[in-house]
Amino acid sequence: MGTQTNDPDSGIAAGPGSRRAAGQLESAVLAVLWEVGRPLSAGEVRDRLHRDGAGSAELSYSTVVTILTRLHEKKSLSRQRDGRAFRYAPVADRAGLAARRLSALLDQSPDREAVLSRFVADLSDRDEQLLRGLLGEGPGSGRD
Amino acid sequence: MGLPAYLTLLCPLAAGPLARLLGDRLDPRRATWLLTAAAVLLAGTSCGALGLLSLSALVRVPLVARLGELSPAVLTSGDPTETGIALVAGVLFGAALLATAAFAVRRARALADARRHARGLPGKGSLVITRDESADAYTVPGRPSRIVVSRGMLDALDDAGRAALLAHERAHLDGRHYLYTSAVRLAAAANPLLRPLADAVEYTIERWADERAAAHIGDRGTVARAIARAALAAKASGQRPGPVPALGAVFARGGAGASPAHGIGPVPRRVAALLGPPPLRRPATTALTLLFLVFVILCALHAADNLQDVLSLAHVEGG
């Protein structure tokens, strides 16, 4: 699932039908948004993809919207309403996104616990109370 | 064959008591070694015993006996294993082999994924700091292995806490702790009775890294507070789904040696352990465990020996 964030240019012209191509389109769109550093509308994203010479003559407005929506659903992008359309911005920087994807990928695997060594495991509500007790904090007074 | 083979099959029942004996009180590094050794050995011997029992039935099939030039009369009289038991053993043996192979493939894939992603993370050093606001920190095994820490996590900790976190994660990297967890999970895939050992190891490697971090920082209390703050911050930022209570009750999920009886998760136990006295080497406990492992080996060897005796006798008579 689109792990190759580092080659946004390749495969753009491939049909949007294949999953691999879709992953690369997502990477290309993300690359545009990282580069710009401010929220963009779907039209602006498409214009920039064209201008970057991404060979995307076939890239229609609706394809870009689809990709943006999908990225938003994956929580890779945040969006805000601007008039009748949305503007999109990356949720995390490149490192954050790669890490997030990794984490999401491993979360799907039942073996993730042993592959990723997390600093702290999940807490139950009772664990939380215990910890606050051990830290000498009353409930709710911790720094969050 | 008889008794030694059955004893060998019963030995994995000791996994629960063994995990409790070693999991909490012993020096975590030593505990990890003993638990891992026990899990791998018990998996090997119990699967081996199942294999022997099913083999003893297989050689009594006339065709196999003829191929092996074995005397059916000697086989039947020399080996008291009932055909029904042998069949059950055969099925269990096959299931164990399949489960082990399936786990091995899955884990190899997960490790390959991790390796690829570790390479794909930006920067060249081992530390990757993400601009993520939610608190998270983990180690990804690979070449190079990477330590990923979110800005949310860094913000939740003071300087000493950050140092503790990094020392903990580096301890995981240096100790190649994923190899232990992979080994014990493989053992538990081969024989589900060994799951308590696998859960215990997932806990003791965290304790191991905690104590390494404490030794590095020079203060166990600092590490304890860092763990507590990090866990509270991670829960507050709520990025990941919490433990599933139903599964937690049955499988001690969050595994890391969570003790379902008390419902206390691994994190408070780690913090409490660091706030308490340093762990001890406990030579008596170690010796007891090693003695048990020797007993397991002897049982298995005896079982194999018995079958071999019967087979070689049958071979003489049949050939």
**Could you give all domains of chain A from N- to C-terminal order, each with its CATH number?**
19-91 (1.10.10.10), 95-135 (no CATH)
In 3D, which of A3, A5, A23, A115 has the Cα closest to residue B146?
A: A115
For residue B177, the chain A residues in CB contact (below 8 A) are 117
According to DSSP, the β-strands at B127-130 and B146-150 are parallel
Confidence of residue A142 (pLDDT cuts 50, 70, 90): very low
CA–CA separation, B217 vs B225, rounded Å?
13
List the one residue out of B128, B145, B303 whose CA is nearest residue A92: B128
pLDDT < 50 positions in chain B? 239, 241-261
**What pLDDT is attached to residue A48?**
85
Kindly state whether B188 is in contact with chain A, defined as any CB-CB distance less than 8 angstroms: no
The pLDDT score that the predictor gives to residue A103 is 65
**B275-311, pLDDT tens digit by residue?**
999 998 889 999 999 999 999 999 999 988 888 887 8
Q: Please give the backbone phi and psi of residue A50, each rounded to the nearest 5 degrees, phi first.
A: -65, -45
SS3 A82: strand
Per-residue pLDDT, B171: 94
Taking the C-alpha atoms of residue B237 and residue A143, their distance in angstroms, rounded to an integer, is 11
| Distance between CA atoms of residues B69 and B76, nearest Å | 15
Beta carbons of A123 and B148 less than 8 Å apart: no
**pLDDT of B36-73, one tens digit each?**
999 999 999 999 999 988 887 777 777 777 777 777 77
Per-residue model confidence (pLDDT) at position B314: 79
Q: Which of B120, B174, B109, B176 is nearest to B148 (CA)?
A: B120
pLDDT confidence of residue A78: 84
Contact call for B232 and A142, based on CB within 8 A: yes
Nearest CB to B225: which of A99, A121, A135?
A135
User: Residues A45, A49, A51, A52: is their CA dihedral positive or negative?
Assistant: positive
What pTM does this model have? 0.72
Burial class (CB in 10 A: 0-12, 13-18, 19+), A78: middle
pLDDT value of position B182: 92
In this model, does residue A45 exceed pLDDT 70?
yes
The pLDDT assigned to A113 comes to 54
User: Token pair 């970057």 is at which residue?
Assistant: A52
CA distance B170 to chain A (A): 11
Residue of A99, A113, A116 lying closest to B255 (CB–CB):
A113
Output the six-digit token pair for A128.
């939380």
pLDDT at B283: 93
Residues of chain A in contact with residue B153, where contact means CB-CB under 8 angstroms, are 119
Q: A42 or A112: whose pLDDT is higher?
A: A42
Q: pLDDT value at position A95? A: 63
Per the CB < 8 Å rule, is A115 touching B178? yes
- Write the DSSP string, B252-290: -SS-TT-BTTTTB-HHHHHHHHHHSPPPB--HHHHHHHH
Vertex B134 angle, CA B230 and B236, to 5°: 60
Residue A66's φ and ψ, nearest 5 degrees, are -60, -45
- What pLDDT, in 10s, does the model give residues A46-90? 888 887 655 555 678 888 898 899 888 877 788 888 888 899 987
DSSP state of A16: T
For residue B301, the tally of other CB atoms under 10 A from its CB is: 14
Number of domains making up chain B: 1
Contact B243, A124 (CB under 8 A): yes
User: B273: Cβ–Cβ under 8 A, 6 or more apart, which residues?
Assistant: B24, B207, B210, B279
Q: What pLDDT shows up at residue A106?
A: 57
pLDDT at res. B67 = 76
Q: Which residue has the higher pLDDT, A32 or B111?
A: B111
Record: contact B131-A115, CB cut-off 8 A: no
Strands A77-82 and A117-118: unpaired
Q: Please name which of B265, B154, B286 lies closest in space to residue B199, comparing C-alpha atoms.
A: B265
Query: Which amino acid, residue A109?
Result: S
Given an 8 Å threshold on Cβ–Cβ distance, is A95 in contact with B131?
yes
Q: Is the CB of residue B255 less than 8 Å away from at least one CB of chain A?
A: yes
**Domain extent for B306:** 3-318
